[in-house]
Amino acid sequence: GAGVSQTPSNKVTEKGKYVELRCDPISGHTALYWYRQSLGQGPEFLIYFQGTGAADDSGLPNDRFFAVRPEGSVSTLKIQRTERGDSAVYLCASSSYVAGDEQYFGPGTRLTVT
Amino acid sequence: GDSVTQMEGPVTLSEEAFLTINCTYTATGYPSLFWYVQYPGEGLQLLLKATKADDKGSNKGFEATYRKETTSFHLEKGSVQVSDSAVYFCALTPRGAQKLVFGQGTRLTINP
């Protein structure tokens, strides 16, 4: 079946603009995760959804970052007033409900803030 | 907080050489431990995992053993191939949590 998909694959925006990044998880996966990967670093956790609710948002760096998953499937990561430091690859992953189950990662969205 | 430290890269080896990539962790309680791999042009994928002390994870000829006493999860392979060239990430899931905490990654290049 289809894997995790993310759109767009690349996004270039100007400092101060608003962006939305989309994630389509594997069908039937109730858990969804967002991570951010800066150049030369490992992915850094942002937020975790179980169903429609954010079960852990402890990794969101500040209130410019927000994520939603209104129907328990597709998720959108929203970044307001973008800054150059937000430039990174944003990764989405999904897994089944079973605790500790493998997380399947999407290809990522490369965000560049100019 | 919980953290993972991996061997600095890049690592370059010849085909059929023995590979070790060191990984140590700091965590409260007993986390689950993982190795993820990112092949060129592809997304992150799980290579192997271990969920309790003394467990050995293995896949594709790679192995790693969960060592509680040394808080380590070193990745090993007896004979590497050119196709093993990739970036390898050690990671943990804290006990009671779902998120992954990653190390900084180690780039491995295998020359024929």
- What does the pLDDT profile of chain B (112 residues) look like in tens digits? 899 999 888 999 999 999 999 999 999 888 999 999 999 888 899 999 999 999 999 999 999 999 999 999 999 999 999 999 999 999 999 888 889 999 999 999 999 9
Q: Which residues of chain B does A106 touch, with a Cβ-Cβ cutoff of 8 Å?
A: 43
Q: Does B43 touch chain A (CB under 8 A)?
A: yes
Contact A4, A104 (CB under 8 A): yes
**Cα–Cα distance for residue pair A9/A90, rounded to 1 Å:** 10
DSSP-derived pairing of the beta strands B106-111 and B11-14: parallel
Q: Does B106 touch chain A (CB under 8 A)?
A: no
Contact A59, A73 (CB under 8 A): no
Confidence of residue A2 (pLDDT cuts 50, 70, 90): confident
Classified as helix, coil or strand, A20 is strand
Contacts of A46 (CB under 8 A, 6+ apart): A33, A34, A35, A36, A57, A59, A60, A61, A65, A67, A77
pLDDT digits (tens, 9 = 90+) for A77-112: 999 999 999 999 999 999 987 656 789 999 999 999
Contact B94, B102 (CB under 8 A): no
Shortest CA gap A45–chain B (Å): 7
Q: Hey, are the CB atoms on A48 and B99 less than 8 Å from each other?
A: yes
Secondary structure element (H or E) that encloses residue A26, with its range: none
pLDDT of residue A1 exceeding 60, the answer is no
**Cα–Cα distance for residue pair B43/B35, rounded to 1 Å:** 14
Contact A52, A110 (CB under 8 A): no
Q: Does A105 touch chain B (CB under 8 A)?
A: yes
**Cα–Cα distance for residue pair A73/A94, rounded to 1 Å:** 10
CA distances from B38 to A57, B26, B54 (A): 25, 23, 26
Q: How many CB pairs under 8 A join A and B?
A: 54
